[in-house]
Amino acid sequence: MALPKLKTPEYILTLPSTQEEIKFRPFLVKEQKILMIAQESGDERQIADAMTKLVSGCTFDVVDANVNPMYDIEYVFLQLRAKSVGSKVKLKLLCPDDKETYAEVEINLEDIGVQMSVEHSAVIDLTDDIKINFRYPILKDIEGMSGGTNEINKMFHLVDKCIVSVESGDETTHRIDMTNEEIEEFIDSFNTEQLQDIMKFFETMPKVRHVVDVVNPKTKVKGEVLLEGLESFLG
C-alpha cells in the first residue's frame, strides 16, 4: 500500500527589493537536514550553497541568491523559518547598560522587516565629475568573509565586488571592463573623505533590522539592542 502524499501549504510575502508579492512554502525535513549538515561542517561555501538551494526551492525558483540582494535572502529565509519551525525565537542579548549581563528575550520573526536609511544613495560622488554606481551585496560576495578575515579586508572586498560602473564626465566604465589591478589601484587612490562616503553606502543600505527592548536582570535598567543580519535573529 502506497503511503499518502502530504500537501505543503503555500503563503505570500512581499519581496523587499521589488515590492512584488511572491508565493513560498515552508522548507521540508530533507531541506532542513541539508542546511543543518552544512552548518555543522562550518564550510561557508557549503552553507551558502545549501541556503541558495533552500531559498530557491521554497520560492518556486523566483528568488535567486546569486541575483537577489542579500537583504532579500535574509528576509525570505526568516519568513521561511517562521512558517517551517515557528515564528518565536528566544535570544540572549548583552545588556547595553553594563555590557556584561545577558537578558533572555523572545522575538517574533514575522515582525522583522527590511529597513533603509533616508540618507541612503547607491551613487557616490567622489569629485564634481567622477561618481561610482554601486549594487547591493549578494550571497556570493560575503562568502569567506568571516573567521580570520579582518574588517579592513572585508570592507575593500565588498567595495570591489559591488562597484557597477565609474562615471568620469561623459564617459562610463563598467566593472566588467576593468581588470582586478585597475580596480585595486582605483580603490587605493581614494582619500579618507571619499572612503567614508563609500562606506556610508554600506552602512545605510537596506538591511534586516529590529530594535529589541531589554531589561537587565541584575540592575533592572531598561535598554535597547539593535539586531542586524541573519545570525542575530537565529542566535
Does residue 23 share a domain with residue 69? Answer: yes
Number of separate domains in the chain: 3
Question: Percent of the chain beyond pLDDT 90?
Answer: 70
Beta bridge partners of 222: 215
Q: Can you tell me the distance from the alpha carbon of 74 to that of 15, in angstroms, rounded to the nearest whole number?
A: 11
Does residue 32 form part of some domain?
yes
Does residue 6 form part of some domain?
no
Nearest to 75 by CA among 5, 143, 128, 24: 24
Does residue 94 form part of some domain?
yes
- By residue range, what is the domain housing residue 53? 11-86
Does residue 1 form part of some domain?
no
Does residue 99 share a domain with residue 31? Answer: no
Q: Can you tell me the distance from the alpha carbon of 73 to that of 82, in angstroms, rounded to the nearest whole number?
A: 14
Does residue 222 share a domain with residue 151? Answer: no
pLDDT tens for each residue of 70-128: 999 999 999 999 999 899 999 999 999 999 999 999 999 999 999 988 889 999 999 99
Beta strands in 59-118 (DSSP E): 88-94, 102-108, 113-115
pLDDT tens for each residue of 131-178: 999 999 998 887 656 555 567 778 888 999 999 999 999 999 999 999
pLDDT tens for each residue of 8-62: 899 999 999 999 999 999 988 888 888 888 878 877 778 888 888 899 999 999 9
What 8-state DSSP symbol labels residue 62? -
Mean pLDDT score of the chain, rounded to an integer?
A: 90
Does residue 200 share a domain with residue 132? Answer: yes
More confident residue, 5 or 235: 5
Residues in the chain: 235
Whole-prediction pTM: 0.87
Q: Collapsing DSSP states into helix, strand and coil, what is residue 104?
A: strand
Beta bridge partners of 213: 224
Does residue 3 form part of some domain?
no
Q: Collapsing DSSP states into helix, strand and coil, what is residue 102?
A: strand
Does residue 192 share a domain with residue 222? Answer: no
What does the pLDDT read at residue 13?
96
Does residue 134 share a domain with residue 18? Answer: no
What does the pLDDT read at residue 150?
67
pLDDT tens for each residue of 193-226: 999 999 999 999 999 999 999 999 999 999 999 9
Does residue 75 share a domain with residue 23? Answer: yes
How many CB atoms sit inside 10 A of residue 147's CB? Answer: 7
Does residue 36 share a domain with residue 148? Answer: no
Does residue 220 share a domain with residue 166? Answer: no
Does residue 74 form part of some domain?
yes
CB-based contacts of 135: which residues, under 8 Å, 6+ apart? Answer: 69, 122, 162, 164
